[in-house]
Amino acid sequence: MSVSFRSGLSAVALAACAAGPALAGPTYTSASGGTFTYYGQLSPSYLSVDDGVDTQGDLVDNVHSNSRVGFYLRQPFGANTFQFRFETALGLKASNKVGQTSDPSNLDWDRTNLRHVDFSLSGAFGTVSAGQGSMASDNIATMDLSGTTLVMGQSVTDAAGAYQFTTSGGALSGIKLSDAFASYDGGRKGRIRYDTPSLNGFVLSASYGTEILASGNDDEYYDITVRYEKEFGEYTVNGGLGVAWTDKQTGTDTRDTVASVSLEHSSGLNGTLSYGDRDTSGDYIYGKVGYKMKVFAIGSTAMSLDYYSGNDLVSTGSESEAWGVGVVQKVDAYNVELYASYRNYSLDDNSGTDYNDLSAVLVGARWKF
Mean pLDDT over residues 282-307, rounded? 98
Q: Given this model, what pLDDT does residue 13 score?
A: 41
CA torsion sign for 152, 364, 337, 104 is: negative
Q: Are 351 and 315 a contacting pair, CB within 8 Å?
A: yes
Q: Given this model, what pLDDT does residue 7 score?
A: 43
DSSP 216: T
Q: Given this model, what pLDDT does residue 21 score?
A: 37
Please write the tens of the pLDDT for every residue from 73-119: 999 999 999 999 999 999 999 999 999 999 999 999 999 999 999 99
Whole-angstrom distance, CA of residue 245 vs CA of residue 268 = 37
Q: Given this model, what pLDDT does residue 26 score?
A: 80
Range of the domain at 14: 3-368
Tally of structural domains, the chain: 1
Q: Given this model, what pLDDT does residue 24 score?
A: 43
Mean pLDDT over residues 277-283, rounded? 97
Predicted confidence (pLDDT) at residue 6 exceeds the cutoff of 50: no
CA torsion sign for 121, 122, 123, 128 is: positive
Q: Residue 366: which residues within 8 A CB-CB, separation 6 or more?
A: 41, 42, 43, 62, 65, 150, 336, 337, 339
Please write the tens of the pLDDT for every residue from 142-201: 999 999 999 999 999 999 999 999 999 999 999 999 999 999 999 999 999 999 999 999
Q: What are phi and psi of 37, to 5 degrees?
A: -135, 130
Please write the tens of the pLDDT for every residue from 47-58: 999 999 999 999
The rounded Cα 41 to chain-centroid distance in angstroms is 15
CA distances from 128 to 19, 191, 314, 352 (A): 37, 11, 38, 52
Q: What is the 3-state secondary structure (H, E, C) of 109-147?
A: CCHHHEEEEEEEEEECCEEEEEEEEECCCCCCCCCCCCC
CATH for 264: 2.40.160.10
**Other C-beta atoms within 10 Å of 297: how many?**
7
For residue 186, the SS3 value is: coil
Q: Are 238 and 146 a contacting pair, CB within 8 Å?
A: no
